[in-house]
Amino acid sequence: MSKVNPKIDLVFKKLFGSEENKDILKSLINAVLPDNQQITEVEIKNPYNVSDYAEGKLTILDIKAQDENGVFYDIEMQIKGTDFYGRRTLFYWAKMFGSQLDYINDLPTATEQISELEKLADLEQQGKLGYSGLKKCIVISLMDFNFFPDKKYQRCFMLKDVETNETHKDLDYLDLYFIELKKYKGELQNVKTTLERWITFLNNAHKYNKKTLPKELAEIEEISKANLQLEVMYLDEQEKRYYESQQKFWFDQNAFMKEAIEKAHEQGELNKQIEIAKNFISIGLDDNTIATGTGLELKQIEKLRNEK
């Protein structure tokens, strides 16, 4: 097998979600976070191991981590876009945030539920439960597809007042980061930030080896380590089957996108030729001259004349 592609979720989890690569994960997280939120330690809560498999299928592909301040992270690589991706991301955040509570209220009757809620309130007042100890949860979505309609490749959503843009410390528990890898078009020689370097690496890592990794990327120690780790990464037979199925989807998706772009370009060129032909018709040029000048076929020009 040639060098594996880190955009495939299995490889991403194995690379960034392994205990020996915590420094790589920390570098990626810090590349996404603003300067005033940089972390110094990270603990992987669900490190990659064979238990991620259930009945022959890989089931746990996101990476859950916690920093030295107790902040939780959910980091995921996705190559498949869906109409409900935003809601899915919110669900991941809600599940991570809610799972911090020491108690889960799951009683069958309303009376029992009211009784338990009173107990919860009492425990909360005593500082023995839950809400006062909840930590911020951050979701980082690395996406190999376009989700937002504009060209911006990096954005963060949080809770703010819609009129004043004001935040509140008691509501500062949700950050959703979206990194759309395909939208980053920066030239290698112009990369400035660590995030730009990580995006460039993830977009092209399957092409590099330890001799061809560009110096602009190699200067980040963790990217150099990630590059080497991908070169020596071993996949067992079960992992290979999953990887190859996802790699096929990735190739097919990229081929589809390329074809769609080419068709759009061709349609744009055709529209330009048609507009030029219409102008030529309006000034009285003959069909052969118009065909020579625009590249259109005679029957296309005749059709344009009949539309007038």
Task: Check whether residue 240 and residue 230 sit in a common domain.
Answer: no
Domain count, the chain: 2
Task: Check whether residue 81 and residue 167 sit in a common domain.
Answer: yes
Euclidean distance between the first and the last CA atom of the chain, given in angstroms as a whole number: 60
Residue after which a domain boundary falls, among 234, 257, 278: 234
* Residue-range definition of the domain harbouring residue 242: 236-308
Task: Check whether residue 190 and residue 298 sit in a common domain.
Answer: no
Cβ pair 141, 179 in contact under 8 A: yes
Residue after which a domain boundary falls, among 234, 254, 284: 234
Spell out the residues 6+ positions from residue 13 whose beta carbon is closer than 8 angstroms to its own: 48, 52, 60, 61, 62, 63, 77
What is the pLDDT tens value at each position of the chain, 308 positions in all? 458 899 988 899 999 999 999 999 999 999 999 999 999 999 999 888 766 655 555 666 799 999 999 999 999 999 887 778 999 999 999 999 988 875 444 434 444 555 655 665 665 554 445 577 889 999 999 999 889 989 999 999 999 999 999 999 999 999 999 999 999 998 888 899 999 999 999 999 988 988 999 999 999 999 999 999 999 898 888 888 888 877 776 666 666 655 555 565 556 677 777 788 887 777 767 776 777 777 788 788 888 878 75
Tokens describing residue 155: 């954005």
Task: Check whether residue 216 and residue 255 sit in a common domain.
Answer: no
Tokens describing residue 290: 């118009």
Residue 108 included in any domain = no
Task: Check whether residue 159 and residue 300 sit in a common domain.
Answer: no
Residue after which a domain boundary falls, among 234, 266, 287: 234
Helices (H), the chain: 9-16, 22-32, 85-98, 110-125, 194-204, 215-218, 221-232, 237-282, 287-294, 298-307
